[in-house]
Amino acid sequence: MLDFAIFAVTFLLALVGAVLYLYPVSAVLALWGPGRRPSLSVADGNLPDIVNSGSLHEFLVNLHERYGPVVSFWFGRRLVVSLGAVDVLKQHINPNKTLDPFETMLKSLLRYQSGGGSVSENHMRKKLYENGVTDSLKSNFALLLKLSEELLDKWLSYPETQHVPLSQHMLGFAMKSVTQMVMGSTFEDDQEVIRFQKNHGTICIFTYFQVWSEIGKGFLDGSLDKNTTRKKQYEDALMQLESVLRNIIKERKGRNFSQHIFIDSLVQGNLNDQQILEDSMIFSLASCIITAKLCTWAICFLTTSEEVEKKLYEEINQVFGNGPVTPEKIEQLRYCQHVLCETVRTAKLTPVSAQLQDIEGKIDQFIIPRETLVLYALGVVLQDPNTWPSPHKFDPDRFDDELVMKTFSSLGFSGTQECPELRFAYMVTTVLLSVLVKRLHLLSVEGQVIETKYELVTSSREEAWITVSKRY
């Protein structure tokens, strides 16, 4: 039961940990607005309810179904507010304030301190990120195409009856793509990619268990540090990754390279070495996982949606014909863009985001006190039938409606508010689908039921298997 919900609790701990440090626990204990009273002691709050629900997302689904779009619950003695409908989110989201859920969580878990400056400083960093993503994708398009074609050749060699471990292959593809486009030629060596993947996994596993010994106390009272073996593995993995990044940063400073990578944009910005290291670390960790999961879910949905795959194939054929996949023509794949938007929505790819209420605010008739942790229950919002007709149906055509796309963009999944990791993942997945769908039928394995695991990024609980067959 604990393992099933471990990431949900970790996510809250990561977000609340800094809050508990900065603001004493003498906060108001009266229940604010509609919400869930703790099932156990005040010290535990609703943590046991979250664990029993299976994940933070599933806990929030139940909470919003019962109490409506604005709810509250208790994290120990800390009040948490959750918003679960488009109209209330629009009241709260500040378009001038950058909000990256991956940065929020990972900086807390890694105990990084840089960033978090003024509005102008945050916008400067966001612009650096945007330029980094744009320039690295442009400079490394041929590399991305090469990696996609290598995967295609591998799948073309398989007999049609062979089951392909999709999640495994997509993780490997994402690791190769992200490491080379973010950190450069060091990761042309497969052994370096494997080493990065191992360290990446160690850091993720450690964060999963960065909770109470049973239901969370270790994070708050320091008993986590008593697990010396896991802590040392984590520290060694983090030290190795940071050492690699420091060497790359040192190598790239003051020099010109034909291949522009993401780190180059940070080096050229007005950032100190520690901030470059932290930002590139967070972007690398987050981009690997979100790119892998977006690729996995997109292909999963195509294998179970024959008409969608057919329509995507027709668009790819129309745009590229017998010619190569190019950056200019990639921009013409409008239906493919809708497929990826619908993938994010249907999979509830990032089910929860959050921010700290820096000034007292109001949502409908409810006052949100200053220093309250506010969750955006995006997984709830993305399945709201009042916003998305037939919400459980995979239907990319719904994004033909400009108002639907505008709503999607307002949630941070497209346009100017999307996080840089997702923007990066969109392009990588678009190139991969253009290469694969042009040559292959992507097919589901009969009888397979894919169960969902809701973490910071949603994934399949077990390996997702597919089969492929040649179009020509």
Distance, in Å, from the CA atom of 392 to the CA atom of 382, rounded to the nearest integer, reads: 10
Residue 149 burial (CB count, 10 A): 16
Residues of each annotated binding site: 419
Instruction: Name residue 469's beta-bridge partners.
Output: 441
What does the alpha-carbon distance between residue 249 and residue 251 come to, in Å, rounded to a whole number? Answer: 5
| Rg, C-alpha atoms of the chain | 22
How many Cβ atoms are within 10 Å of 407's Cβ, its own excluded?
Answer: 18
Residue with tokens 């619950």: 73
Taking the alpha carbons at both ends of the chain, their separation in whole angstroms is 47
Instruction: Report angle CA 161, 162, 164 to the nearest 5 degrees.
Output: 135
- 375 phi and psi angles, rounded to 5 deg: -95, 140
Binding residue positions for heme: 419
